[in-house]
């Protein structure tokens, strides 16, 4: 094929506070060659994942991953299709999850980061950025490995999930409810999201943390206290749940989004409940469980098929709309996973 026109969106300017789509990003047309070196593949991007973590990648500070450079293609997880392969592990037509960022095409060196999508139960490929993506895997391993839900779960087990309408929280809440049969209370930031949690996802109770009587409602909803708290937010919600933690309760420390923008974040004042209740707070990172992703994806795609795990996506069409879509993610306009659809899957593999 030779040289192909490739639309890219690059980081033009680091935002100080809110992202300003036209200032923060720049769209550009470049030419890309599909000539491949050893063990490289040429891919077409189908879906781009938009994640809150992206705000952190734009900051020029030391973190668990280096920042995106100025004039560099904006980083993202994508679902892409292999167009041409110089690797024995992939063939044209294969679908992969890969980090090639906000662009239409890319040449990718094959590594552990290039994950071949096996559609176990016929779930659509975009699911591999949501329920079956890193956010879903984070829910799965947090509950299993840190929360030990396989041992503690059941109808007598009360599970509370903060950020429950988010990409990770919604999966954690559904697994706890529909796979392990726990009593599940979801915490979210709007009445619409609470409706979604109860009516669509089938949780027992959903609480809006912006309610003036939130802490009273939390107490009323947890008469037998909280056995497992899956925490995505930190802050006052974490403290409120510490006050309700059960004997030998587990706090899965997944995230602390409520504190990420604070210069001097507040810690959980009531952490001494860990002593009186013999409870445990433990953090984790999903990458540590990479060897078990296969089993997790098999479980979760089966649960999707069985209707235990619903996948909801907010899909924006066209790569040129990614900057605005990212802004709307931070406003909470989406429900479920926020994606940008860049291209259709090519099903006529023989043409390639």
Q: Which residues bind its own copies (CB under 8 A)?
A: 56, 63-64, 234, 239, 253-256, 259, 264-285, 288
Q: Backbone phi, then psi, for 268, in 5-degree steps?
A: -75, 100
> Closer to its own copies at the Cβ: 120 or 271?
271
In the complex, minimum distance from the CB of residue 273 to its own copies, in angstroms, rounded to a whole number: 8
3-class SS of residue 12: coil
Whichever of 181 and 267 has its CB closer to its own copies, that residue is 267
Six token digits for residue 252: 């899965």
Would you say 62 or 351 has its CB closer to its own copies? 62
Rounded least distance, CB 293 to its own copies, Å = 17
Q: CA nearest 290: which of 176, 138, 144, 78?
A: 138
Q: CB of 145: closest distance to its own copies in angstroms? A: 10
Angle at 144 between CA 138 and CA 150, to 5 degrees: 150
Buried b (16+ CB within 10 A) or exposed e, 68-91: beeeebbbbbbbbbbbbbebeebe
Nearer to its own copies, 280 or 310 (CB): 280
Q: CB-wise, 34 or 236, nearer to its own copies? A: 236
Supply φ then ψ for residue 132, to 5 degrees: -100, 15
Question: Which two structure tokens, joined as six digits, stand for 198?
Answer: 């109860």
Residue number with CB closer to its own copies (234 or 323): 234
- Rounded to a whole number of angstroms, the minimum distance from the CB of residue 233 to its own copies is 11
Closest by CA position to 44, among listed 246, 346, 304, 247:
346
Which element (helix H / strand E) includes 140? helix 134-141
Query: Considering the complex, what minimum distance in angstroms separates the CB of residue 291 from its own copies?
Result: 15
Smallest gap, in angstroms, from Cβ of residue 121 to its own copies?
31
């Amino acid at each position: 094929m030779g040289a192909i026109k490739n639309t890219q969106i690059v980081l033009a300017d680091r935002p100080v506070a809110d992202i300003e789509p036209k200032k923060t990003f720049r769209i550009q047309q470049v030419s890309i060659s599909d000539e491949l070196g050893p063990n490289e593949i040429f891919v077409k991007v189908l879906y781009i994942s938009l994640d809150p973590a992206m705000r952190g990648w734009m900051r020029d500070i030391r973190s668990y991953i280096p920042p995106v450079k100025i004039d560099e293609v904006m980083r993202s997880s994508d679902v892409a299709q292999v167009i041409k392969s110089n690797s024995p592990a992939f063939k044209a037509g294969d679908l992969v999850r890969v980090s090639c960022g906000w662009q239409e095409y890319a040449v990718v060196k094959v590594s552990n980061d290039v994950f071949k999508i096996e559609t176990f139960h016929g779930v659509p490929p975009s699911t591999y950025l949501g329920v079956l993506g890193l956010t879903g895997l984070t829910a799965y391993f947090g509950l299993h490995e840190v929360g030990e839900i396989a041992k503690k779960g059941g109808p007598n087990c009360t599970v509370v999930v903060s950020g429950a309408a988010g990409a990770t929280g919604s999966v954690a809440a559904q697994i706890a409810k529909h796979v392990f049969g726990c009593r599940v209370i979801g915490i979210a930031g709007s009445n619409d999201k609470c409706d979604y949690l109860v009516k669509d996802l089938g949780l027992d109770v959903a609480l809006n943390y912006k309610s003036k009587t939130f802490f009273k409602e939390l107490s009323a909803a947890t008469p037998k206290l909280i056995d497992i708290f899956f925490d995505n937010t930190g802050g006052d919600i974490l403290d409120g749940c510490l006050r309700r933690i059960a004997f030998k309760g587990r706090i899965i420390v997944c995230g602390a989004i409520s504190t990420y923008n604070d210069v001097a974040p507040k810690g959980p004042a009531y952490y001494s409940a860990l002593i009186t209740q013999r409870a445990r707070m433990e953090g984790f990172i999903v990458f540590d469980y990479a060897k078990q992703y296969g089993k997790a994806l098999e479980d979760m795609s089966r649960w999707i098929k069985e209707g235990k795990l619903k996948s909801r996506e907010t899909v924006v069409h066209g790569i040129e709309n990614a900057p605005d879509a990212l802004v709307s993610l931070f406003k909470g306009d989406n429900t479920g996973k926020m994606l940008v659809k860049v291209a259709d899957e090519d099903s006529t593999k023989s043409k390639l």
